[in-house]
Amino acid sequence: MEHAELTLRRQLIDTCRSFGLSGLSQGTSGNASVRWQHGMIVTPSAMPYERIRPSDLVWMGFDGSRRGRRPPSSEWRFHQRILAERADAGAVVHVHSPAATALACLRLPIPAFHYMVAVAGGDSIRCAPYSLFGTETLADAVIEALDGRTAALLANHGQVTVGVSLDAAYRLAVEVESLADQYLRARTVGEPRRLTARQMREVLDRFVHYRNGTLDDLDGGPARP
C-alpha cells in the first residue's frame, strides 16, 4: 500500500472515530467514504470504529471491482453513486445524528429558517423519501435529494453530507446537526419565520464570495459569517 493511500485510510478512520466524540453517531452506526483513484475507500460493515485498522477499509472501484478482506458498509451503494456521479465530491459522510434523525423521522426538510441553511448549497436541506437501507432504491433517493445540494436528510434514517474532502464532509455534518437542533427547538414554540427566496439568493451569492476568498473555512463550504 503506497504512503498516500495509507494516509487517506488513516484520515478516514480518524473521521469516523470523531463521530462518537462529537455526538454525530453512536456504536457502529454511520459510515464514510473518500475518493481514491478510480473508486473509493469506504468503511467496513458493522465494525466498531475504535477497532478499525487501515487494512479493514475496503476499496471499491466505480466499475464494481473490490479490494479488501471485509465486507463494505451496507450503504456502499449511495457512497459509490455520489462519488461516481459528482465531480465535486471527494468524500461522503453518513451519520444518525440525534436532531437530524429526529427531523428525518418526522420526514421534514430543514427550510430557510436560518441563513446558514445555505451551507448545503440551496434554500433548504431536503429530506429523501424512505427506502430500506443498503438498497439501490435508497441510493436513487439520496442522489435526487442531493441534486444541487451537499447535504440531505434521509427519512426515518439520518443525514448524508458531501465535501471536497473528508474534513469538509465531516464539518458539514456537524453544521447540519446544529441547524436541525435549532429548527427543532424553534418549533417547540411555533413555526419559525422563513427567509424569502430573495433573501436566500443573497446569502447564496455571498457564500460564493466566501468559497472563492480567504474565508473558506469549510474547505468547500463557507465559514459562519
Written as nine digits, the cell of 53 is 485498522
- For 141, list phi and psi in degrees, rounded to 5: -65, -40
Residue 183 near residue 113 (C-beta atoms within 8 A): yes
Three-state SS at 158:
strand
- Residue 209, SS3 per DSSP: helix
Helix, strand, or coil here: 215? coil
Q: Which residue has the cell 455571498?
A: 206
Active site residue 75: yes
In the set 5, 50, 75, 85, the catalytic residue is: 75
**Positions marked catalytic:** 75
